[in-house]
Amino acid sequence: MVVNNSNVANQAQNVTDYPNNNTFFLVWELNSQISPTILKTIFQRVCALVINLNHSVLNRFPNAKASVVMGIGHDAWRKLNLPSPLPKELKNFQTIRGDKHTAVATAADLHFHIRADERSLAYDMANEISLVMNEIGNCIVEVQGFRYWDSRSILGFVDGTENPHGPERDYFAVVSDADPRYAGGSYLFVQKYIHDLRAWNNLSIEAQEKVIGRSKAMDIEMSDNEKPSNSHSALANVGDNFKVVRDNMPFGSVSDNEMGTYFICYASTFSTVEKMLTNMFVGNPEGNYDRILDFSTAKTGSLFFAPSLTMLSELAG
């Protein structure tokens, strides 16, 4: 593969940063009762705040690997009267329904992905954004993710092993000059999964490994002869030319027994994500669905577009 991304002028937001120790995921809906003029004015403040926070934390805490990425949903793009035509593949995510499991679609307007090594810093950035966003919307999803051991999910397996590295991260996560108006942007897709840990932990380690398609201790992929065709690694990875950059994080409450994974990925084309989800939920071939879904239920599913920093500055006025 030849990796060539010439978006020097259209620098991406921090979509290719690696997972951090502490993460806030905030999903907002805009208040339909607010006038378009006020909505647009406050939104411009939000864009400026995202830029300001990224500059500030880089100067104040250069080693904290802290950042904020903002994504905008299809309906919000229309409500805010943002540039037209829209990014080529930005739409409202449509439910993907298999015989047994469903990738649900949930409405959402804005998404904020906040990372920091220090929990205090992540909290402060989330709070500053919320203080402004409360003027025009309601936070409908708040998930506080954390790093679990060596980047494992709560299921105990390493998450994100197939992530691209080096220049390939930009290649697979950032829109190219094929969509010049939106070059440097990224499609941002999220799902909140809840795990049935009781059922999962009743499986032997060998049975768990067959569900994932990798060894639990050392994260070694099974050979093609060993790996079940309905394993997660067999169905969630759709080929070397179709990758995304995942930044999944575990979350949960032990007392509520609600433990899960916040799936988040950045992609240069949303069609790649759709192909992956269809494989998982419908099956390949149809009916051969991803076995991990017997233990993980998708509660949300929303698509956004994270504009380049250049466009974000323009949106800030």
Please write the tens of the pLDDT for every residue from 267-309: 999 999 999 999 999 999 999 999 999 999 999 999 999 999 9
Write down the pLDDT at residue 254.
86
Angle between helices 119-133 and 36-60 (to 10 degrees): 160
What's the pTM? 0.96
In residues, how long is the chain? Answer: 317
11 falls within a domain: no
Strands 296-298 and 22-30: unpaired
246 falls within a domain: yes
> Which of 95, 78, 79, 96 is CA-nearest to residue 87?
78
8 falls within a domain: no
CA atoms of 208 and 83, how far apart (whole Å): 47
Is residue 12 very low, low, confident or very high in pLDDT (cuts 50, 70, 90)? very high
Per-residue tokens: 53: 């926070």
1 falls within a domain: no
77 falls within a domain: yes
* Residue 166 pLDDT exceeds 80: yes
Write down the pLDDT at residue 9.
58
Q: Looking at residues 239-264, what average pLDDT do you find?
A: 93
Q: Are 305 and 186 in contact (CB under 8 A)?
A: yes
Per-residue tokens: 203: 């499986």
* Residue 45 pLDDT exceeds 50: yes
Is residue 27 very low, low, confident or very high in pLDDT (cuts 50, 70, 90)? very high
Among 109, 159, 170, 290, the one annotated catalytic: 159
166 falls within a domain: yes
Our count of domains for the chain comes to 1
Write down the pLDDT at residue 255.
85
Q: Looking at residues 38-52, what average pLDDT do you find?
A: 98
Is residue 221 very low, low, confident or very high in pLDDT (cuts 50, 70, 90)? very high
3-class DSSP string for 209-223 = HHHHCECCCCCCECC
Q: Report pLDDT digits (tens) over 183-200.
A: 999 999 999 999 999 999
> What mean pLDDT is reported for the chain?
95
3-state secondary structure (DSSP) of residue 136: coil
Is 159 assigned a catalytic role?
yes
Write down the pLDDT at residue 218.
97
Write down the pLDDT at residue 174.
97
Q: Report pLDDT digits (tens) over 115-155.
A: 999 999 999 999 999 999 999 999 999 999 999 999 999 99
CA atoms of 9 and 183, how far apart (whole Å): 9
Q: Report pLDDT digits (tens) over 63-122.
A: 999 999 999 999 999 999 999 999 999 999 999 999 999 999 999 999 999 999 999 999
270 falls within a domain: yes
187 falls within a domain: yes
CA atoms of 118 and 174, how far apart (whole Å): 27
CA atoms of 282 and 97, how far apart (whole Å): 7
Cα-based angle 55, 58, 59 (whole degrees, multiple of 5): 85
Write down the pLDDT at residue 8.
41
Write down the pLDDT at residue 257.
80
Residue with tokens 């240069």: 268
Listed in sequence order, the residues at least 6 apart from 100 whose beta carbon sits closer than 8 Å to its beta carbon are 289, 293
Q: Are 161 and 216 in contact (CB under 8 A)?
A: no
> Residue 254 sits in which domain range?
22-315
